[in-house]
Amino acid sequence: MTLRPASASDLLIDGKLTPGSGGVFDVVNPATEEVIGQAADATAADMDAAITAARNAFDTTDWSRDHAFRAHCLRQLRDALLAHADEFRELTIAEVGCPSFLTHGPQFEGPVTDLGYFADLAESYEWSRDLGKAKPMGIKNHRELRSEAIGVVGAITPWNFPHQINFAKIGPALAAGCTVVLKPAPDTPWCAALVGKVVAEETDFPPGVLNVVTSTDHELGAQLSTDPRVDLVSFTGSTATGKKVMVAAAETLKKVFLELGGKSAFIVLDDADIGSACAMAAFNVVTHAGQGCAITTRLVVPREKLDEAIAATRDALAGLPAGDPTDSGTICGPVISARQRQRIESYIELAQQEGGTIEIGGGRPADKAAGFFVEPTLISGLDNSARVAQEEIFGPVLVIIAHDGDDDAIDIANDSPYGLSGMVYGTDEDRINKVVNGVRTGTMGINGGIWYSADVPFGGFKQSGIGREMGVAGFEEYLETKAVARPA
């Protein structure tokens, strides 16, 4: 099978590849601004059909009870996708604008390989647990706990790491025995739609178990949130939109999983190597042009070493320019769209209005006549109350902030509505552990440590979300617990 990414990609509904009732919409390469193809544009009627298919597949088949078969289908999907790896890499770079090196990690290969972890979990999980005998009210009973799939899952995903986020939802949901309707972002429809094509043509997934609905209509996400036939909505995106999803889902009291925004702190202690720490902070913030919710975008450094840290970070950013994502040496590619670039530029302008200094960057690369590129940017001269230090920019923009000791650094990190990620650099283990224990965040790296893995739960504190993705904890988000008792 050839994926043919330049042609219109169909919806996957009830096991069939079908055109969208709304026609097609353009797919744009963010590095060139060229239209590179079309995707199917679904309507509310298409979404209704997908929900109907998912509901029927859950209610009328053995999908939720046949753990071995689910594991087989997930491994089959993993192997089929990896067989098309070169095609997926090419289309992902073109559609997402991500640097090519990332397709060997979280932009394709990593999350696809992770499907095997969830296949293994479907087979090894303790689906029932014996609680033994007891005498409630003097009556002998034998009790057990059973774990069962929650039902139909509506998965609403963003454009920044589409494969990683799509599979972080559909992998554990399918492994748990749920059926899924996936609504990807309109900026990156191919990454989802062409997975649907592989599912339909190269796997044994039963009709309706996985449905993929691409559309420019954001109301289709709201449709998933309000439809009573959907049992859980899993949403990744902005905190503002996540709040709307939660409100919409409240009417039917469906479970909501939310993975939302971040403004994570990179804390440098006064015993750390400033040059190494600042180089890592610079690398982090420009990776995929800063378009990641868990990227550390506040660099919190000792006040007495502020000038040294600014110079080191500025030098590091100078060596990480925005470039062609097809080039294997590029770390910072384009941002996803003209609208996103304008948003980032408005924050850079705001920083200057608030009294900040642009140490490097702040504009568009002079050598890029086309493409949605933003120069890697370092902002100094502002404290943590500035809007650019409090609000998620989602671009290659780093704000450097001075701290007055470890306790102050922890306070600065926690002085945020978010709590998704973080990093600490230092040499004294007791001080490092104090920071790790003190910062209220869902993930934390030490001296460059990488927490991302299939078996590690990911999610945040505060307004960074509700629940966890990945790992056993992420798998269990898609389960209900049933207590069963019988006379002993």
Which residues are identified as catalytic?
A: 259
Provide the token pair at 335.
């941002």
Cα separation, 53 vs 249, whole angstroms: 20
Query: Other C-beta atoms within 10 Å of 338: how many?
Result: 12
Residue 329 CB neighbours (<10 A): 9
- CB distance 261 to 463 below 8 Å: yes
162, two tokens: 């589409």
* Contact by Cβ (8 Å): 152, 58: yes
Burial class of 355 by CB neighbour count within 10 A (0 to 12, 13 to 18, 19+): exposed
In 227-288, alpha helices (H)? 239-250, 274-286
Q: If DSSP states are collapsed to H, E and C, what string results for 402-443? A: EECCHHHHHHHHHCCCEECCEEEECCCHHHHHHHHHHCCCCC
First-last CA distance in the chain: 57
Dist CA 155 CA 169 (whole Å):
7
Strands 210-212 and 377-380: unpaired
d(CA 349, CA 333): 21
Q: Which positions ≥6 away from 188 have C-beta within 8 Å?
A: 95, 96, 159, 162, 336
Strands 422-425 and 445-446: parallel
